Amino acid sequence: MIAYLHGVIREKNFESVVIDVNGVGYGVKVTIDEAVSLKEGDKTKLFIYEHIREDTHDLYGFSEPLNRQLFELLLSVKNVGPRVALAVMSLGSESVVRGAIAGGDVKLLQSAKHVGKRAAEQIVVELRDRVGLESSEDAENIVSRGGVRVDDEAMQALLALGFNNAEASKALSGIDKELPVEDKVKQALRAKK
């Protein structure tokens, strides 16, 4: 089993990189964010998930062990394979993906390539209590509502004020989405008191 690779990036595109480890080039599939941040010629360390089947042996690389753990957690969901899990991981940082799952943001999850509504709902139902964030809603409510966009400015403001993802998502869920950001934040703060 390969736990990590430490070497020099020799080639890259938006789906994979080739990392040279002592003269051996390993092709590693990565998220879009990883591909953008990795530069040819730079030394790097990637934490690896090996996907071995009869007809394939793929390596998936992550710059942080938490990203690999979340990827493995996504793979535990029924009918979610590495391609879908990597697409979900490409939605944003590890905390954004965890927040989307805990907050039941099916629309955001569904916006990932290869992820349909049923798969997004399945991810929420199976992982919402396992992503390390609090979720006070039951699964039926989570998958039936539209979800709060994690990249919403009001959400980001609440996170900066000390809310966790689940609290911020819950606070914003009943507030008119057409309001200016400042008004959304004020109403969310009033509701918290």
The CATH number for 66-192, chosen from 1.10.3720.10, 1.10.150.20, 1.10.1040.10, 3.30.300.30, is: 1.10.150.20
Lowest mean pLDDT among 3-7, 23-27, 112-116: 112-116
pLDDT at 180: 81
> Looking at the domain 4-63, which fold is it?
OB fold (Dihydrolipoamide Acetyltransferase, E2P) (2.40.50)
Q: Output the DSSP codes for 114-183.
A: T--HHHHHHHHHHHTTTSSS---S-HHHHHHS----TT-HHHHHHHHTT--HHHHHHHHHTS-TTS-HHH
Comparing 73 with 158, the larger pLDDT belongs to 73
* Residue 127 reports pLDDT greater than 70: yes
19 with 5: CB under 8 angstroms?
yes
Domain ranges of the chain: 4-63, 66-192
At 54-97, the pLDDT tens digits run: 888 999 999 999 999 999 999 999 889 999 999 999 888 888 89
Comparing 100 with 174, the larger pLDDT belongs to 100
* Residue 134 reports pLDDT greater than 70: no
- pTM score: 0.67
